[in-house]
Protein backbone atom coordinates (compact mmCIF):
# COMPACT_ATOMS: atom_id res chain seq x y z
CA UNK A 1 0.00 0.00 0.00
CA UNK A 2 2.84 2.36 0.83
CA UNK A 3 4.31 1.72 -2.62
CA UNK A 4 1.01 2.59 -4.29
CA UNK A 5 0.71 5.80 -2.26
CA UNK A 6 4.29 6.70 -3.26
CA UNK A 7 3.55 6.07 -6.94
CA UNK A 8 0.41 8.25 -6.73
CA UNK A 9 2.40 11.01 -5.04
CA UNK A 10 5.13 10.75 -7.67
CA UNK A 11 2.58 10.89 -10.48
CA UNK A 12 0.89 13.93 -8.92
CA UNK A 13 4.25 15.66 -8.56
CA UNK A 14 5.10 14.80 -12.12
CA UNK A 15 1.76 16.22 -13.27
CA UNK A 16 2.42 19.45 -11.35
CA UNK A 17 5.82 19.71 -13.01
CA UNK A 18 4.21 19.31 -16.43
CA UNK A 19 1.68 22.03 -15.77
CA UNK A 20 4.55 24.23 -14.59
CA UNK A 21 6.37 23.52 -17.83
CA UNK A 22 3.21 24.27 -19.78
CA UNK A 23 2.80 27.59 -18.00
CA UNK A 24 6.44 28.42 -18.64
CA UNK A 25 6.03 27.59 -22.34
CA UNK A 26 3.07 29.95 -22.84
CA UNK A 27 5.16 33.14 -22.88
CA UNK A 28 7.51 31.47 -25.34
CA UNK A 29 4.67 30.68 -27.75
CA UNK A 30 3.35 34.26 -27.74
CA UNK A 31 6.26 35.67 -29.75
CA UNK A 32 5.80 32.83 -32.23
CA UNK A 33 2.13 33.73 -32.66
CA UNK A 34 3.01 37.39 -33.01
CA UNK A 35 5.61 36.57 -35.65
CA UNK A 36 3.09 34.48 -37.60
CA UNK A 37 0.61 37.35 -37.33
CA UNK A 38 3.20 39.77 -38.69
CA UNK A 39 4.03 37.44 -41.58
CA UNK A 40 0.34 37.04 -42.42
CA UNK A 41 -0.22 40.81 -42.24
CA UNK A 42 2.78 41.41 -44.51
CA UNK A 43 1.50 38.87 -47.01
CA UNK A 44 -1.95 40.51 -46.98
CA UNK A 45 -0.40 43.93 -47.60
CA UNK A 46 1.62 42.51 -50.49
CA UNK A 47 -1.55 41.04 -52.03
CA UNK A 48 -3.33 44.38 -51.63
CA UNK A 49 -0.39 46.24 -53.18
CA UNK A 50 -0.38 43.86 -56.15
CA UNK A 51 -4.15 44.25 -56.57
CA UNK A 52 -3.84 48.05 -56.48
CA UNK A 53 -1.09 47.91 -59.11
CA UNK A 54 -3.29 45.75 -61.36
CA UNK A 55 -6.23 48.12 -60.83
CA UNK A 56 -4.03 51.08 -61.74
CA UNK A 57 -2.86 49.37 -64.92
CA UNK A 58 -6.44 48.52 -65.87
CA UNK A 59 -7.56 52.10 -65.20
CA UNK A 60 -4.78 53.47 -67.41
CA UNK A 61 -5.67 51.04 -70.19
CA UNK A 62 -9.35 51.96 -70.03
CA UNK A 63 -8.66 55.70 -69.84
CA UNK A 64 -6.47 55.41 -72.91
CA UNK A 65 -9.54 54.20 -74.80
CA UNK A 66 -11.30 57.46 -73.85
CA UNK A 67 -8.37 59.73 -74.75
CA UNK A 68 -10.06 60.92 -77.93
CA UNK A 69 -13.42 61.48 -76.24
CA UNK A 70 -12.49 63.36 -73.07
CA UNK A 71 -10.79 66.72 -72.71
CA UNK A 72 -7.15 66.31 -71.64
CA UNK A 73 -7.77 68.15 -68.37
CA UNK A 74 -10.60 65.80 -67.37
CA UNK A 75 -8.59 62.76 -68.43
CA UNK A 76 -5.74 63.95 -66.22
CA UNK A 77 -8.14 64.32 -63.27
CA UNK A 78 -9.30 60.72 -63.79
CA UNK A 79 -5.69 59.53 -63.63
CA UNK A 80 -4.74 61.71 -60.67
CA UNK A 81 -7.77 61.04 -58.43
CA UNK A 82 -10.20 58.54 -59.91
CA UNK A 83 -12.44 58.25 -56.84
CA UNK A 84 -12.94 62.00 -56.43
CA UNK A 85 -13.40 62.47 -60.18
CA UNK A 86 -16.05 59.75 -60.25
CA UNK A 87 -17.87 61.32 -57.32
CA UNK A 88 -17.79 64.68 -59.10
CA UNK A 89 -19.08 63.11 -62.32
CA UNK A 90 -21.87 61.42 -60.37
CA UNK A 91 -22.83 64.73 -58.75
CA UNK A 92 -22.69 66.50 -62.14
CA UNK A 93 -24.98 63.89 -63.68
CA UNK A 94 -27.38 64.13 -60.74
CA UNK A 95 -27.66 67.87 -61.25
CA UNK A 96 -27.33 67.67 -65.07
CA UNK A 97 -24.34 70.03 -65.13
CA UNK A 98 -21.84 67.68 -66.82
CA UNK A 99 -19.71 69.47 -69.39
Q: What is the pLDDT of residues 10-55, one digit of tens each?
A: 766 655 555 555 555 555 567 777 888 899 999 999 999 999 999 9
Q: Could you tell me if 38 and 79 lie in one domain?
A: no
First to last CA, the chain: 100
What's residue 5's pLDDT? 62
Residue 14, in any domain of the structure: yes
d(CA 33, CA 28) in angstroms, rounded, equals: 9
- Average pLDDT estimate for 7-11: 68
d(CA 57, CA 49) in angstroms, rounded, equals: 12
Q: Could you tell me if 6 and 40 lie in one domain?
A: yes
Give the single-character DSSP code of 70: S
> Residues 68-84: pLDDT tens digits?
888 888 888 988 998 99
Buried b (16+ CB within 10 A) or exposed e, 35-61: eeeeeeeeeeeeeeeeeeeeeeeeeee
Is pTM, for the whole model, over 0.75?
Answer: no
Q: Could you tell me if 33 and 76 lie in one domain?
A: no
Residue 60, in any domain of the structure: no
Residue 84, in any domain of the structure: yes
Domain that holds residue 24: 1-55
Higher pLDDT, 59 or 2: 59
Question: How many domains does one find in the chain?
Answer: 2
Residue 92, in any domain of the structure: yes
Amino acid sequence: MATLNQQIADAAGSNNNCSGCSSAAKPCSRPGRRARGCVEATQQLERQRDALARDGQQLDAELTAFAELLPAERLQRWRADPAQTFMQLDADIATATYV
